[in-house]
Structure 1
Amino acid sequence: MRNHSVEAPRTILVIGGGVIGLSSALALQRLGLEVTLVEASTDVRAASWGNAGHIATEQAEPIASPRIVRSAARRLFLRGGALALPPRQIAHWLPFALRLTRAATPTRFERGRAALSGLLAQAMPAWRRYVDAIAAPDLLRENGHVVVWETPETAAAGLAAWRAADIGTTRFVPLERHELDALRHRIATPLAGGIRFTGTGQIADPGRLAHATRAAFLAAGGTERIATVTAIDARSATLADGARLTADRVVLAAGTGSAALLRPHGLKVPIIAERGYHLQSPPEPDWPADLPPIVFEDRSMIVTRFESGLRAASFVEFAGHAAPPDPRKWARLHRHAAALGLPMADAEGWMGARPTLPDYLPAIGQAAGILCAFGHNHLGLTLAPITAEAIAALALGERPPVDLTRLAPDRFSRGL
Structure 2
Amino acid sequence: MSGRSGMDSGPRSVVVVGAGIVGLSTAWFLQDRGVDVTVVDRTGIAAGASWGNAGWVAPALTSPLNSPSVLREGLRAMADPAAALHIPLRADPTLGRFLVRFAAHCRPGAWHRAVRANAVLNDEALETFDVLVANGVDAPVTDTSIAVSFRSAARAAAFRRDLERVGAEQTPTFEMLTGSDLRTHVPLASAEVADVVLVHGQRFVDPGRFTHALARAVIARGAAIRTGEVGRVRPALDGVSVEMRAGEPLHADTAVVATGAWLPALTGRRVRVGLHAGRGYSFTVPVERALPGPIYLPEARVACTPYRGGLRVAGTMEFRRPDEPLFRRRIEAIVASAAPLLDGVRWHERHDEWVGSRPVTDDGMPLIGQVDRGVYVAGGHGMWGFAHGPASGRLLAEQIVTGKQPEAARAFDPLRRR
User: What TM-score does the superposition give when structure 1 sets the normalisation length?
Assistant: 0.89
Q: CA deviation at 1:34?
A: 1.1
* 1:158 equivalenced with 2:162 (yes/no): no
Give 5+ residue unaligned stretches, structure 1: none
Deviations 1:325-362 (A, max 9, x none): 32111122334565423134321211111011111211
Q: Using a 3 Å threshold, how does the CA distance of structure 1 residues 131 and 118 change in structure 2: closer, same or farther?
A: same
Cα gap change, 1:133 to 1:76, in 2 (>3 Å): farther
Q: SS of the residue aligned with 1:233? A: strand
Would the aligned equivalents of 1:184 and 1:190 in 2 still touch at CA under 8 Å?
Answer: no
**Compared CA separation, residues 244 and 323, structure 1 to 2 (3 A):** same
Q: Distance in 2 between matches of 1:230 and 1:7?
A: 29
Deviation at 1:271, TM superposition (A): 1.4
Q: 1:11 to 1:17 in 2, by over 3 A?
A: same
Relative distance call for 1:359 and 1:6 in structure 2 (3 A) is farther
Q: 1:7 aligns with which of 6, 9, 31?
A: 9
CA distance in 2, matches of 1:212, 1:377: 23
Contact 2:369 2:413 in 1 (8 A): yes
1:258 maps onto 2:263 in alignment: yes
AA of the residue aligned to 2:215: R
Deviation at 1:187, TM superposition (A): 3.3
* Cross-structure match for 1:91: 93
Q: Equivalent pairs: percent with the same residue?
A: 27
Change (3 A) 1:210 1:267: closer
- Tell whether 2:365 aligns with 1:365: no
How far apart in 1 are the matches of 2:309 and 2:393? Answer: 26
Contact 1:293 1:305 in 2 (8 A): yes
Once the two structures are superposed, what CA deviation does each residue of 1:19-70 show, in whole Å capped at 9, x if it has no partner? Answer: 1011111111122211000111126452111111111302454221233323
Equivalent-residue separation in structure 2 for 1:106 and 1:47 (angstroms): 28
Q: Aligned partners of 2:61 and 2:102: how far apart in 1?
A: 17
- Structure 1 SS opposite 2:346: coil
Superposition pairs for residues 79-158 of structure 1, below 5 Å? 80-88=82-90, 90-136=92-138, 139-150=140-151, 152=152, 155-158=153-156
Q: What letter corresponds to residue 209 of structure 2 in structure 1?
A: R
CA deviation vs aligned residue, 1:100-153 (integer Å, no higher than 9, x gap)? 1222233333322211112211111111112222343x6212212110113x3x
User: How far apart, in 1, do the equivalents of 2:283 and 2:246 lie?
Assistant: 36
CA–CA distance in structure 2, aligned partners of residues 184 and 390 of structure 1: 37
Contact 1:19 1:49 (8 Å CA) reproduced: no
Query: Does the CA-based 8 Å contact 1:76-1:84 persist in structure 2?
Result: yes
CA gap of 1:319–1:407, structure 2 versus 1, over 3 A, is: same
What's the offset of the Cα at 1:71?
A: 4.0
Q: Partners of 2:7 and 2:38 in 1: how far apart?
A: 25
- Say whether residues 1:240 and 2:245 are aligned partners: yes
Call closer, same or farther: CA 1:211–1:333 in 2, change over 3 Å. same
**Cα distance in structure 2, aligned partners of 1:377 and 1:266:** 20
Encode CA deviations 1:136-171: one digit per residue, 9 max, x unaligned.
3x6212212110113x3xx31232243145132323
- Is the aligned partner of 1:274 residue 2:271? no
Q: List alignment gaps of at least 5 residues for structure 2.
A: 1-5
Q: 1:331 to 1:237 in 2, by over 3 A?
A: same
> In 1, distance between residues paired with 2:188 and 2:35?
50
- Tell me how far apart the structure 1 counterparts of residues 63 and 304 of structure 2 sit (CA, whole Å): 22
SS in 2 for 1:272: strand
2:18 counterpart (16, 37, 41)? 16
Instruction: Kindly tell me the number of residue pairs found equivalent between the two proteins.
Output: 402
Structure 1 residue aligned with 2:228: 227
Q: Residues 293 and 305 of structure 2 are in contact (CA less than 8 Å); yes or no, is this contact kept in structure 1?
A: yes
Distance 2:146 2:82 in 1: 24
CA distance in 2, matches of 1:402, 1:344: 47
Distance 1:17 1:287, change over 3 A: farther
- Do the aligned residues in 2 keep the contact of 1:81 with 1:300 (CA within 8 Å)? no
Matched, 1:346 2:344: no
SS at match of 2:377: strand
**1:184, CA displacement in angstroms?**
6.3
In 1: Cα distance, 2:266 partner to 2:137 partner:
34
